[in-house]
A and B are shown apart, each in its own frame.
Chain A
Amino acid sequence: MTTTAFKDPVREASPGAATRERRRTGRIRRAGLPYLLLLPALVLELLVHLVPMVIGIIMSFKELTQFYIRDWGTAPWSGFSNYKVSVDFNAPVGNALLHSFFVTVGFTLLSVGLCWLIGTAAAVFMQDSFRGRGLLRALFLVPYALPVYAAVITWVFMFQHDNGLVNHVLHDQLHLTGKPSFWLIGDNSFYALLTVSVWKGWPFAFLIVMAGLQNIPRELYEAAALDGAGTWQQIRRITLPSLRPVNQVLVLVLFLWTFNDFNTPYVLFGRSAPDAADLISVHIYQASFVTWNFGTGSAMSVLLLLFLLVVTGTYLLVTSRGRRASDG
Chain B
Amino acid sequence: MAPSRSFTWSRRIFLTLLTGFVLIPVYVMISSSLKPLADVTGKFRWLPSGLTIRPYIDIWSTVPLARYFVNSLIVAGAATVCSVVIAVFAAYAVSRYEFRGKRVFTVTVLSTQMFPGILFLLPLFLLYVNIGNATGIALFGSRGGLILTYLTFSLPFSIWMLIGYFDSVPRDLDEAALVDGCGPLGALLRIVVPAAIPGIVAVAVYAFMTAWGEVLFASVMTNDTTRTLAVGLQGYSTLNNVYWNQIMAASLVVSVPVVAGFLLLQRYLVAGLTAGAVK
A2-B163, A11-B171 given; A260·B117 CB < 8 A: yes
A90: chain B residues at CB < 8 Å are: none
A47-B148, A262-B215, A308-B114 given; A246·B278 CB < 8 A: yes
A146-B258, A163-B43 given; A41·B109 CB < 8 A: yes
A40: chain B residues at CB < 8 Å are: 86, 89-90
A93 CB within 8 Å of chain B:
no
A67 CB within 8 Å of chain B:
no
Q: A53, B119: Cβ atoms under 8 Å?
A: yes
Q: Mark A316-328, 1 if CB is under 8 A from B, else 0.
A: 0000000000001
Which residues of chain B from 119 to 137 have a CB within 8 Å of any chain A CB? 119-124, 126-127
B213 CB within 8 Å of chain A:
yes
A172: chain B residues at CB < 8 Å are: 43
Looking at the complex, which one of B42, B152, B184, B214 makes contact with A45 (CB distance below 8 Å)?
B152
Q: Which residue of B lies closest to A312 (CB)?
A: B114
Give the interface SS of chain A, mostly helix, strand, loop or mixed. Answer: helix
A168: chain B residues at CB < 8 Å are: 43-44
Q: B278, A142: Cβ atoms under 8 Å?
A: no
Looking at the complex, which one of B14, B28, B120, B259 makes contact with A52 (CB distance below 8 Å)?
B120
B175: chain A residues at CB < 8 Å are: 11
A37-B92, A207-B269 given; A199·B22 CB < 8 A: yes
| Complex Cα spacing A44 to B26, Å | 37
| Complex Cα spacing A114 to B270, Å | 22
Q: Which residue of B lies closest to A151 (CB)?
A: B25
Q: B25, A155: Cβ atoms under 8 Å?
A: yes
A1 CB within 8 Å of chain B:
yes
A118: chain B residues at CB < 8 Å are: 18
A267: chain B residues at CB < 8 Å are: 215
Q: A34, B93: Cβ atoms under 8 Å?
A: yes
Q: B278, A56: Cβ atoms under 8 Å?
A: no
Q: A149, B233: Cβ atoms under 8 Å?
A: yes
Segment with Cβ contacts to A, from B48-56, B57-65, B98-106, B189-197: B98-106
| Complex Cα spacing A122 to B16, Å | 11
How many A-B pairs fall under 8 Å by CB?
307
Q: B278, A266: Cβ atoms under 8 Å?
A: no
| Complex Cα spacing A145 to B208, Å | 11
A208: chain B residues at CB < 8 Å are: 273, 277-278
Q: B95, A157: Cβ atoms under 8 Å?
A: no
B249 to chain A, nearest CB (A): 11
Looking at the complex, which one of A37, A128, A138, A294 makes contact with B3 (CB distance below 8 Å)?
A128
| Complex Cα spacing A285 to B95, Å | 38
Q: A260, B255: Cβ atoms under 8 Å?
A: no
- Which among B21, B118, B123, B167 has the greatest number of chain A C-beta atoms within 10 A? B118
Interface size on B, residues (CB 8 A): 107
A149-B229, A154-B25 given; A211·B124 CB < 8 A: no
| Complex Cα spacing A7 to B23, Å | 47
Q: Which residue of B lies closest to A294 (CB)?
A: B122
Q: Which residue of B lies closest to A271 (CB)?
A: B219
A137: chain B residues at CB < 8 Å are: 266
Q: Mark B153-180, 1 if CB is under 8 A from A, else 0.
A: 0011001110110010001100100110
Q: A55, B126: Cβ atoms under 8 Å?
A: yes
- Which among B14, B248, B279 has the greatest number of chain A C-beta atoms within 10 A? B279
A121 CB within 8 Å of chain B:
yes
Segment with Cβ contacts to B, from A80-88, A95-103, A296-304: A296-304
A2-B276, A38-B105, A146-B258 given; A53·B115 CB < 8 A: yes
Q: Mark A144-185, 1 if CB is under 8 A from B, else 0.
A: 111111110111011010111101100010000000000000
* 23 A–B contacts, CB within 8 A, in A order: A2-B276, A2-B279, A35-B99, A37-B92, A45-B156, A48-B124, A48-B148, A52-B124, A125-B15, A139-B22, A141-B263, A141-B266, A145-B209, A145-B262, A146-B259, A147-B212, A148-B230, A165-B28, A232-B4, A259-B116, A263-B214, A297-B122, A312-B114
Task: Give B residues with C-beta under 8 Å from A.
Answer: 1, 3-4, 6-7, 10-11, 14-15, 18-19, 21-26, 28-29, 32, 40-44, 86-87, 89-90, 92-95, 97-99, 102-103, 105-106, 108-109, 111-124, 126-127, 148-149, 151-152, 155-156, 159-161, 163-164, 167, 171-172, 175, 178-179, 184, 209, 212-216, 219-220, 229-230, 233, 244, 247-248, 251-252, 254-255, 258-259, 262-263, 266, 269-270, 273-274, 276-279
Task: Enumerate the 4 nearest inter-chain pairs by beta-carbon distance, A residue then B residue, closest first.
Answer: A2-B164, A52-B123, A150-B251, A145-B262
Q: A157-B244, A225-B1 are in contact. List 10 more A-B contacts (CB 8 A).
A: A1-B161, A10-B172, A26-B178, A48-B152, A56-B120, A147-B254, A163-B244, A253-B113, A262-B117, A284-B116
Task: Give A residues with C-beta under 8 Å from B.
Answer: 1-4, 6-8, 10-11, 19, 26, 30-31, 33-35, 37-38, 40-42, 44-45, 47-53, 55-56, 59, 69, 72, 118, 121-122, 125-126, 128, 130, 136-151, 153-155, 157-158, 160, 162-165, 167-168, 172, 199, 207-208, 210-212, 214-215, 225, 230-232, 246, 249, 253, 256, 259-260, 262-263, 266-267, 280-281, 284-285, 288-289, 294, 297-298, 301-302, 304-305, 308-309, 312, 328
